[in-house]
Structure 1
Amino acid sequence: MFAKKNVVAAAALTLVAVAAQAQVTAYGNLDVSVGRKQAVTGYDTNGKAIKASRTAVDSSDLSDSFIGFKGQEDLGGGLKAIFKLESELAVDNGAALGGTSAFWSRNATVGLAGGFGTVNLGRFENLFKLEGAAFNPFGSSRTFSTTFGGTLDLTSGSLAPRESWSNGISYVSPSLGGLTLSAQYSAKEAALGNTALYGGGAVAVAANFVAGPLGLSAVVGELRSTNGVTAPAEKTRPWLLGASYDFGAVKLFGQYGQIKADDKVTGDSGKFKGFQLGASVPVSADGAVLVSYGDSKGTEPGVAGSEKNRDVSLGYTHNLSKRTNVYAAAINERRKDTTAAPVQKATITNFAVGVRHSF
């Protein structure tokens, strides 16, 4: 018995020692809400939207729900080995999220960090998502952010700005007097092109500048596909500008984005552009009011007419502690599509109250 206790104690001490040496951290965010949601299921012969409403418990309404592990090892001389594994999840039913069958759908990287900056290999959140979330009061909200809710959703074919990039290499520079430079590349691997399809792959570069209350960003890229398998019929060339300024009594946000899409077969081009203006207003030590307005217009390659979107979001968040937060938010979305005959129009409103806990 004494020997068994010694073995167990030794094993426990070994695990503690290994964890301390590797500096592994488990962390995450859980966001779950209940609300009333609307969706457009079709249009009648007059172009009027046919809508369906539901009362539902949902996940990731205001911020991404995920679980993660990260760690580092000191290699000496200012060099560190680093890793990050993050999996998005739906708290309401326990399912995996992220638009892919990959378990570590959000991030799965190993890299090196030092005085030269940080280099990572693997799968990572793309720069358009990161920059889009940083300059919107609703962040990367799947439901209430006017950047990701439709107006600045730089989407073409199967490409969406929220999607993490696989088979990738990323680089982030050290801060150079407040300026940080970033670059990402996703290899096309088996996604080979032909006369009807572009070869896969994607590249993006970004610059961020922070000086006290002022924040500025710019990101530009070319996207074909980001999974190493898909060879798309369209390639897109998006760019996105962002700015914020914290006055103390209010923090203002602004974004402007544009994307051009080219069709491989027809040679036709489409164009999408939009802007977002928002604010976060502290109303107490623990509470803040969030508001955002987004507006966009886009055309598809070879398609006459355009699609217009207008989104307005309003929310309130309240911190119960450093790790627990409650919120209420609503978004009104309007859409007009003149590419259809007759012209299609739709207006929907979504509302939810929820709780978030980070660990």
Structure 2
Amino acid sequence: MKTLSKSILAVSVLGFSAGTLAADPLTVYGKANLSFQYADAAETATDLKSNASRFGVKGEVELDNGLTAIYQAEFGVDFADESKEKNVTARNQYVGLKGGFGQVRLGRMDTALKLAQGKVDLFNDYNADIKNLFEGENRESDSVTYISPSFSGFSFGATYITHEENDQSFADSAGVSAAVMYGDAKLKKSKVYAAIAVDNDVDNHDIIRAVYNQKFGAFKLGAVVQREESSDGTGDADTGVMVNGAYSAGKLTYKLQYQTLDDKANDLRVDTISAGVDYKLGDATKLFAWYTTEEKGGDTNTLAVGIEHKF
């Protein structure tokens, strides 16, 4: 019986492979990132935190007429939380087509403005993630995204966020996000990455964002400048700036980042300073430590040590 089951499985796999031309119709992947954190604010506290840990499946299958079907179904999973309702959450989940025209995705996914950030944020998913001060880090449901091919290093992306027909509060508008990008966001194929992006009525905000990231040998410098305001025109526009630098020496990477936002609505200036170091244990695993101080009507200082493993 076991032999028969194995034979059926083998035939099924071979049949699937023969019917699809893509080399990777299905890829399972994920990341576990956990840190032990000590926070000193009005009161001190310790916590074990899962930092945007995730798992997912994605793939590509070649079709006729030079087209390729693409898909992704990614979920966030909290490795440190016992809560059953919030332990698994939806992240990027879409299906689409790509070809010589670029690619079109339909589903729930990062907006063009969020994609334009690239890899400039050295403390992404931690306390100093730029989303904790800046608007615009949105992953929108009911959206359609187009990403163009690269033309001499330049590419274009646009996201249209639909509105439900039975929701009268959104009957006269739908959000649009767009970005022009230059270079490789991972700084592997190019030494420079830059982008200009805008949001119009996305999550009730209008935003203009400029991104710059460049590699100088072992050094890497990055910056984000952003202007944001409410879509309804009430209140003043806020301006934010983020600058950072990283230096790699063997298995160690040292990181420093500063972020500030002039919050005019609350007559408040918010500042975040972070310093950290990563130690590479292998291609998929690293140890890390970081310290972040936040000034937002009171100081909060956080020290964290942790481990990340990708699979």
**TM norm structure 1:** 0.77
Q: Residues of 2 paired with 1:326 and 1:18: CA distance?
A: 42
CA deviation string 1:109-135 (max 9, x = no partner): 010011110101111122333333522
The match for 1:134 is: 119
Mapped pair 1:122 → 2:107? yes
CA contact (8 A) 1:123 1:167 kept: yes
The match for 2:253 is: 288
Q: Indicate the SS of the match to 1:7.
A: helix
CA deviation string 1:235-260 (max 9, x = no partner): 32111100011001210001100111
Q: Check 1:110–1:12 CA distance in 2 against 1; reply closer, same or farther (3 A cut).
A: same
The count of aligned residue pairs is 301
Q: Check 1:15–1:355 CA distance in 2 against 1; reply closer, same or farther (3 A cut).
A: farther
Q: Indicate the SS of the match to 2:260.
A: strand
Tell me the amino acid that sits aligned with residue 132 of structure 2: G
Q: Check 1:262–1:162 CA distance in 2 against 1; reply closer, same or farther (3 A cut).
A: closer
The match for 2:301 is: 349
CA contact (8 A) 2:286 2:309 kept: yes
Tell me the amino acid that sits aligned with residue 178 of structure 1: G
Residue number among 166, 179, 185 corresponding to 1:206 in the alignment: 179
CA deviation string 1:168-203 (max 9, x = no partner): 100111111100110001101146345xx8856321
CA deviation string 1:284-307 (max 9, x = no partner): 2x210010011110223xxxx612
Q: Residues of 1 paired with 2:210 and 2:147: CA distance?
A: 18
Mapped pair 1:78 → 2:69? no
Q: Check 1:347–1:102 CA distance in 2 against 1; reply closer, same or farther (3 A cut).
A: closer
Percent sequence identity is 22
Q: Give the root-mean-square deviation of aligned CA atoms.
A: 2.4
Q: Indicate the SS of the match to 1:105.
A: strand
Q: Which runs of 5+ in 2 are unaligned?
A: 185-189
**TM norm structure 2:** 0.89
CA contact (8 A) 1:89 1:96 kept: no
Q: Residues of 1 paired with 2:230 and 2:15: CA distance?
A: 50
Q: Residues of 2 paired with 1:216 and 1:12: CA distance?
A: 48
CA deviation string 1:302-329 (max 9, x = no partner): xxx6121111000000110000111000
Q: Which runs of 5+ in 1 are unaligned?
A: 40-50, 155-160, 226-234, 336-344
* Displacement after TM superposition at 1:70 (Å): 0.4
The match for 2:214 is: 245
Structure 1 residues 190-201: aligned runs within 5 Å: 190=165, 192-194=167-169, 201=174
Moved beyond 3 Å, runs of 4+ = 18-22, 94-97, 101-104, 190-194, 197-201
Structure 1 residues 14-25: aligned runs within 5 Å: 14-17=11-14, 20=17, 21=20, 23-25=25-27
